[in-house]
Amino acid sequence: MPTATVTARALLLDMDGTLVDSDAVVERCWRRWAARHGLDGDHVMHVVHGRQGHLSMALLLPDRPMEVNLQENRAMLADETADTLGIVPVPGAPAFLAALSGQPHALVTSADEALARVRMGAAGLPLPETLVTAESVGASKPDPEGFLKGAAELGFLPADCLAFEDSGAGISAALAAGMRVIGVGPRALAHPATHHVDSLEQVRVEAQPDGGLRLTLG
């Protein structure tokens, strides 16, 4: 990819697929769920990335009462939290987060806080001080609420923030919030992020004298 340079005042980071490679766990849990409901596993996996579980269930089983989805999602979260086999950092994530130490950044994830803490810990990654998790919002990605809340908690306007995402739902949410978006990894390529990188190994972060951040991509 050609080199690009972008600036921002703060970064808002998705977790699964962006910082943490949890695909093995997600595949195991959601394919079991798909089999129980007689659904095609490949189709289910196409839907679930980036969204809260109960919203994915609502899209996949649209005639089912939401209270059933919420109940099953609680069980799904318990299964996912208990399963850390195969969780690793996305390439470049440790150095990327180390470069952000002391700089304004937040985690904006569709996981609940317990799952976020388990997965970041299993990947050996530091948890940002500012967390926007499933409990923090009333609407899941692709709704922009989580990114808007993350910007507000850090004290910056959405236009001053740069989001990092891997999923279509997450990229749509960040764009709807009025932010530029760096799409990370192959899953992001199908969606209209502002820039794409193959991995976080292609991102270099430099703090600027004015307090902003300069990022070199590529």
Query: Could you tell me the CA-to-CA distances from 156 to 9, 89, 105, 149, 161 in Å, in that order?
Result: 7, 28, 11, 10, 7
Rounded to whole angstroms, how far apart are CA atoms 130 and 105? 7
Phi-psi region of 156 (alpha: psi -120 to 50; beta: other; left: phi over 0): beta
Is 42 among the catalytic positions?
Answer: no
Catalytic residue among 16, 112, 143, 160: 16
**40-67 per-position pLDDT tens digit:** 999 999 999 989 999 999 999 999 999 9
Sign of CA dihedral 78, 81, 82, 87: positive
**23-44 per-position pLDDT tens digit:** 999 999 999 999 999 999 999 9
Rounded to whole angstroms, how far apart are CA atoms 122 and 116? 10
**73-85 per-position pLDDT tens digit:** 999 999 999 999 9
What are the backbone angles phi and psi of residue 197, rounded to the nearest 5°?
Answer: -130, 150
Decide: 217 and 5 in contact? Cβ < 8 Å.
yes
Is 14 among the catalytic positions?
Answer: yes
**114-149 per-position pLDDT tens digit:** 999 999 999 999 999 999 999 999 999 999 999 999
Decide: 125 and 97 in contact? Cβ < 8 Å.
yes
In percent, the amount of the chain with pLDDT more than 90 equals 97
- Mean pLDDT, rounded, of the chain: 96
pLDDT score of 1 more than 70: no
Overall average pLDDT of the 179-202 stretch: 96
